[in-house]
Structure 1
Amino acid sequence: MSKTILVTGAAGFIGFHVSKALLEKGHKVIGIDNINDYYDVNLKLARLEALGIDKSEAIQELNSTSSSTYGDRMIFVKMNLEDRIALPKLFETHTIDLVCNLAAQAGVRYSLENPEAYADSNLTGFLNILECCRNYKVQKLVYASSSSVYGNSDAVPFEETANVDHPISLYAATKKANELMAHAYSHLYGFESIGLRFFTVYGPWGRPDMAMFLFTEAILNEQPVKVFNNGDLSRDFTYIDDIVSGVVKTLLDTSTNASPYKLYNIGNSQPVQLLEYIEAIEEALGKKAIKEMMPMQPGDVKQTYANVNLLKNDFNYQPDTEVAEGIAAFVKWYRGFYKKE
């Protein structure tokens, strides 16, 4: 049965891909995004255009309904998540069955420069979403948390039962707060909430502030690649298609776990050393990197490694994209989108 699903952050990396997947399954998607300038606005508008949303309409403060690609099954509204007038009005206008909250002020390092943005979007905005889910009887809320909540834990792989009371960035602290807020609302008001702790997502249409994008750009432009902590880092790099598969399953499928409140790691469960990752990018580009060894950055963690057994057991989640395959797909997209030979 077709559902009406609100996807916040629809012009973002994961939000774009999730919206596309839901539309292709025949569902109606109401996408919202404030299209801020944290990174290149043109990339965000290009994602919306790929969803059938006219770019000239998307930048206006009004509803923009696509008449191409997906017909009236895709609606986009430019909006701040924390807008306490506009968001409830959206729920009044449309009967929304499910909410997928992917909007947030992203980036660990940027939280050191502009902490207010994280309070506005990640805390006030998330509370606004919870209030709307409560007041308009939404069936289920799936929301983005982050692997950053684990901080500098040495206990790997990371498990959902681990203590995550020691964040080392404001971004991580806001994601931990989201989990606590969702727990309270699920307990008090009975709607189902699922938090997904994303592990280093990469792939086509990715964010320009992420390692995959930065490394590719630097290598092609013969600029130094900044290798933090002298390369002594590892990340559970997770390809976007595997992330989308997990998000869509948690939204649309019924879990074998009856609890109304759930938290899951969503990753590849195969961490890769940073220098190996750079080598794979070099291979895909056919070009060597100029490496600039750098110290550890404030707020960064040394390693991430997801235990995804809970998500496998409850929703049959099966990540299956090897890093070399995912990097090749990103490089192909990057060369095409930016017309780089």
Structure 2
Amino acid sequence: MNPLVESPRAIVTGASGFIGSHLLGRLSREGWQIAVIARTASASDLASNPAGPKVYTYTGQTSEVVEAVAEFRPQVVFHLGSLFLAQHDAAQIAPLISSNILFGTQLLEAMRLAKATALVNTGTAWQNFSGAVYNPVNLYAATKQAFEDILIYYVQTAGIKAITLRLFDTYGPADTRRKLLALLIDSLKSGEPMGMSLGDQVLDLTHVDDVCTAFLSAANLLLNHEEPRHEVYAVSSEERHTLRELVAIFEEIAGKRLQITFGARPYRDREVMEPWQGTRLPGWHAKISLREGMRRLLLAENLFSPRS
């Protein structure tokens, strides 16, 4: 019998983030019983929805996480909570360590004590600069790798079954992050010029609906296996384009040229020019093409007519 048929229980961290919020909706629609562990501000927002998940507030204490996992008894933990910083300063080191290493370790210890064994973890392709097995683009990526190293200890000693999904660029509706497609939509609306780098870096964009499917597929794999393990998979659309090509595709679909000046900005330090080629999650592939995803975004903004 497929375990996912029996209304499983899941704890989600990072539920207030872009991907986490979409995953929360997907789990709810598919009949999962859901709880979230969230910091005070996010917990208040999540708890304001009477039809929403059970909310456990986290203020940094290990005991809070232990009590949440023990009480809710999840079959799967989806760990998306993290602090993303493309570049950091000295004052941000403590928050990075706390969010990306300490909290995850507290979660693993809580799983050990509650004998909860299935974890779907979130990594980043930025752990693999220049295609290396491990070469972090920035300190954020280094903290993600550090957590994976701690995870291996719990796999070996606590029987944890884990899959880490290393994500590339993601996009989709209700995205408040200042990512590429949001910037292009703003430029389309305003007509204002925008400066970019030379645009030769290759990008891999995956729609959030496909990303959520990957998380569910990973959970299903874990629930159908008994042995402790940690496996790493790439969640890649396998549809890769340079920044220049992406802008051209967007302009084609929107039916309008944007005022983009390539070369107006330098590449960032350790710019990823060619994305890592990782092993794809078994049984999963992206279904929403980049063009279709762009059409959906433009349609939602009333910037695209299906007849055009």
Q: Fold match, TM over 0.5? A: yes
Letter in 1 for 2:23: V
Pairing 1:46-125 to 2, within 5 Å after superposition: 58-59=44-45, 64=47, 66-68=49-51, 74-80=53-59, 82-109=60-87, 114-125=92-103
1:297 maps to which of 260, 265, 268: 268
- In structure 1, what is the equivalent of residue 247 of structure 2? 278
- In structure 2, what is the equivalent of residue 231 of structure 1? 199
- Per the alignment, do residues 332 and 258 of structure 1 end up closer, same or farther by CA in structure 2, a change over 3 Å counting? farther
Letter in 2 for 1:223: E
- In structure 1, what is the equivalent of residue 133 of structure 2? 163
Query: What residue ranges of structure 1 are gaps of 5+ in the alignment?
Result: 37-44, 46-56, 154-161, 337-341
1:25-52 per-position Cα deviation (integer Å, ceiling 9, x unaligned): 111111233377xxxxxxxx8xxxxxxx
Deviation at 1:306, TM superposition (A): 3.7
CA distance in 1 between partners of 2:112 and 2:23 (Å):
23
CA distance in 2 between partners of 1:151 and 1:257 (Å):
33
1:188-207 per-position Cα deviation (integer Å, ceiling 9, x unaligned): 11111111101111111224
CA distance in 2 between partners of 1:24 and 1:182 (Å):
30
Pairing 1:297-336 to 2, within 5 Å after superposition: 297-309=268-280, 311-312=281-282, 316-334=283-301
Deviation at 1:148, TM superposition (A): 0.3
1:235-266 per-position Cα deviation (integer Å, ceiling 9, x unaligned): 11111111111110111344679552111111
Deviation at 1:132, TM superposition (A): 1.1
1:127-184 per-position Cα deviation (integer Å, ceiling 9, x unaligned): 111111111111301110000001133xxxxxxxx521x2130011011112211111
- In structure 2, what is the equivalent of residue 30 of structure 1? 35
Whether the aligned pair in 1 keeps the contact of 2:10 and 2:34 (CA below 8 Å) is yes
CA distance in 2 between partners of 1:204 and 1:213 (Å):
10
| TM-score calculated relative to the size of structure 2 | 0.86
Deviation at 1:334, TM superposition (A): 4.5
Count of residue pairs brought into register by the alignment:
295
1:49-69 per-position Cα deviation (integer Å, ceiling 9, x unaligned): xxxxxxxx834xxx827434x
Deviation at 1:307, TM superposition (A): 3.9
Letter in 2 for 1:27: W
- Per the alignment, do residues 244 and 325 of structure 1 end up closer, same or farther by CA in structure 2, a change over 3 Å counting? same
